[in-house]
Structure 1
């Protein structure tokens, strides 16, 4: 089983956190819920989704202390707790809305987490990256890594996280007793100023792909870098633009 390292909030921001904000904003627009109320952000990470919700009161929980430090500084009006998504430290029906952004697939037992979401909230919604097909910056990385090192395929999020697709997400929500379940895609563009802007964040070590990159010795890491450089097509201005798709789901208790 792969061990995912989530030890540095600033490294996560440089890697994929910077692309999380437009997805979070699109997700909140899709929910189209009234401003105010009490919201819970489960797996809040560095607080990107927490900052986007139109809540009167917002609480964030995450198992990573370093991520919570970044979130507390980024969203000073919110309340944060270190907690496991499978055992939320809140009473039944204590939130109007429970949301989770780009985190559910990292919970070892996602069905337990969604049951907890439904226990403490009325509206329950989440989104995850489409690792298998729609998150191009990671898809290119793992395809190149597996071509050079077949063992890398076992670490690929597209293989490890089958929950990140419409039918599994819908089933999780339905099995948790939620009704009016709806799933949709949210797609944004990840635009890199040049190849180094794409590659350098993989050297931060935070997340599955950066963790794999930094597990390689210098020569194999350089080989992976050059393989990726050969695969990515830049525009006339040197920029590299790649689509990033997430799947979003919502339901009512």
Structure 2
């Protein structure tokens, strides 16, 4: 069976499932990145605007552009109070619609594994950032167990089902990120691990939030009701619940930053 491409056509569902995770990881990422205020930013693959909003609140950009292929995600991004003044455009990470050196900083937040040609995406970020500017990203460690929905995917595989994967999951590993950044000619490349911990009132809240997104729904829709219930039971057994029934889970991402070489 041919795996259908992962699509995100419901900004509200994405926000509940992944937007909160993005915000939690993004806080740690920005602490590490420590950019100065007042930069011109491009948020590549901005999605529902979760990281864009955080960027505006934390970094007081002089200008912020967000680009994403999904109209539905961009429509949701426009509804965020802090994104007033941000310019959102529909577009392709591998062909950014900007002149070279247009920005001071470019970021991909939880996006690089969705780019069919990650090297081209990084090269595009480097192209549109001015000499001395920063190019950065953070990505769930898709192949190392860091994905927030990993408990569900592990049990899907155990039951003989194939969970959806983005087109370039290998790009989320630290070594691959280093190769991409150095391959794009970026300098002063640094990496670090980012962890995010999220609590849910109970298992049902974890389950509904994690399966509401477009990345999970198509697989679950092909399963019989009994198989879904078996899957839920197996996932629940993997997770720890406290005395009040709360579920707390920790996800892990790999982060990277580098600079565009300064002109001679």
In 2, the alpha carbon distance for the partners of 1:76 and 1:218 equals: 43
| Equivalent residue runs for 1:1-253 within 5 Å | 1-53=3-55, 54=59, 55-74=61-80, 75-121=83-129, 122-135=133-146, 137-149=148-160, 151-152=161-162, 155-156=164-165, 161-207=169-215, 209-253=216-260
The answer (yes or no) to whether the contact 2:41–2:64 under 8 Å persists in 1 is: yes
The answer (yes or no) to whether the contact 1:132–1:139 under 8 Å persists in 2 is: no
Task: Calculate the TM-score normalised by the size of structure 2.
Answer: 0.89
Task: Calculate the TM-score normalised by the size of structure 1.
Answer: 0.93
How much is the aligned-residue C-alpha RMSD, in angstroms?
Answer: 1.7
Q: Which runs of 5+ in 1 are unaligned?
A: none
Give the CA deviation at 1:234. 0.6
Give the CA deviation at 1:167. 0.4
1:65-107 C-alpha deviation (Å, 9 max, x unpaired): 0000111111122110000000000000000000110011001
The answer (yes or no) to whether the contact 1:214–1:221 under 8 Å persists in 2 is: no
Question: What count of residue pairs does the alignment treat as equivalent?
Answer: 249
Q: Which runs of 5+ in 2 are unaligned?
A: none
The answer (yes or no) to whether the contact 2:15–2:50 under 8 Å persists in 1 is: no
From the two aligned structures, give the one with the greater helix fraction: 1
The answer (yes or no) to whether the contact 2:67–2:88 under 8 Å persists in 1 is: yes
Q: 1:49 to 1:161 in 2, by over 3 A?
A: same
